[in-house]
Amino acid sequence: MTFSLILFLLTVFTGVLWVLDVFVWKPKRVKVMSDELQQFDRSNEDALRRGVQSVVAARSAMVTRMNERPKWLEYTAGFFPVIFFIFILRSFIFEPFRIPSGSMMPTLESGDMILVNKYNYGLRLPVLNTKIVPIGEPERGDVIVFRYPADEKIDYIKRVVGLPGDKIEYVNKRLTINGKPVPVTADGKYYDEAKMQELDQFVEQLGKKDHRILNNRAAPAGAYPLPIHNNPDACDYVRGGLICTVPKDTYFVLGDNRDNSEDSRYWGFVPEKNLVGRANMIWMNLSKPSRIGFFD
């Protein structure tokens, strides 16, 4: 069971109890307590008139109890407003994710905690992920979070390289889109602390967006389809790489750490229905606070 489903069920459960309490149970409690309060006032009319402290305190306690929920409701329906706020925020506005691997280095490192914009690509029903309000579509160069096509319980993060209808060539570690080589400029070296190796760093330009990518000169060029590939007929695997035509309503994605990323080269295309949102902000990295900020 996914966290989204758990949160949805909690919202429904606490919401039903909250509605029942506000419109059914609380009015009944207030009615019972009001009757008891009237009876108390009649029985203690003289003491109340004289301001006997113990009687006045007892009456105040009855008024307080009139507005109190039972403990079991306080810990269920009482949490509904908070749970509902979190549900709306997480389902339609922003959702936090933690980067588990180095496939998106140097843009994102393992341990980065990012915020994903949930409304950039349209509002979607929670759990079902069905688009209900179209707002925008991914652009070439966007960093996106999506449900992994081979196992939709897993979230992946990669960069959009190919849009529907694009012809993508990735051969000998060079990217070509619709017959035009994507501009790359050498940008020194990058040291991968986790693997203790030095990688070649480049600035790649996708449309108007610049971002950095990594290549490992020791890794051989090439790609191959895994058995889970969702559309192998759309790709030709050639010596040193592959050539694909991106099918309708799907996207071709790559990791920025090109020689250490399992992406569209291996398992295929990201269906539009699998999109979760666009990532562009690191909100926390416990070991490297300096990484907090926006990224492309």
Per-residue pLDDT of 149-174, as tens digits, reads 999 999 999 999 999 999 999 999 99
Please give the mean pLDDT across all residues of the chain: 93
Does 1 score more than 60 pLDDT? Answer: no
Q: Residue 65: its pLDDT value, please?
A: 83
pLDDT bin (cut points 50, 70, 90) of residue 58 is confident
Q: Which two tokens stand for residue 160?
A: 């959009």
Mean pLDDT of 222-239: 96
Q: Residue 242: its pLDDT value, please?
A: 97
Q: Which two tokens stand for residue 52?
A: 């006997």
Q: Residue 76: its pLDDT value, please?
A: 93
- The residues assigned a catalytic role are 103, 158
Q: Residue 201: its pLDDT value, please?
A: 98
Does 258 score more than 90 pLDDT? Answer: yes
pLDDT bin (cut points 50, 70, 90) of residue 64 is confident
The CA distance from 35 to 66, in Å, is 11
Single pTM value for the model: 0.86
The CA distance from 36 to 59, in Å, is 10
Does 128 score more than 90 pLDDT? Answer: no
Per-residue pLDDT of 22-41, as tens digits, reads 999 999 988 988 888 899 88
Per-residue pLDDT of 40-57, as tens digits, reads 888 888 888 888 898 888
pLDDT bin (cut points 50, 70, 90) of residue 4 is confident
Number of other residues whose CB lies within 10 A of the CB of residue 127 = 14
Q: Residue 55: its pLDDT value, please?
A: 83
Q: Which two tokens stand for residue 23?
A: 């419109």
Q: Which two tokens stand for residue 113?
A: 């905690």
Burial label for 59, CB within 10 Å (0-12, 13-18, 19+), is middle
Q: Residue 37: its pLDDT value, please?
A: 86
Q: Percentage of residues in the chain with pLDDT exceeding 70?
A: 100
252: left (phi over 0), alpha (psi -120 to 50) or beta: beta
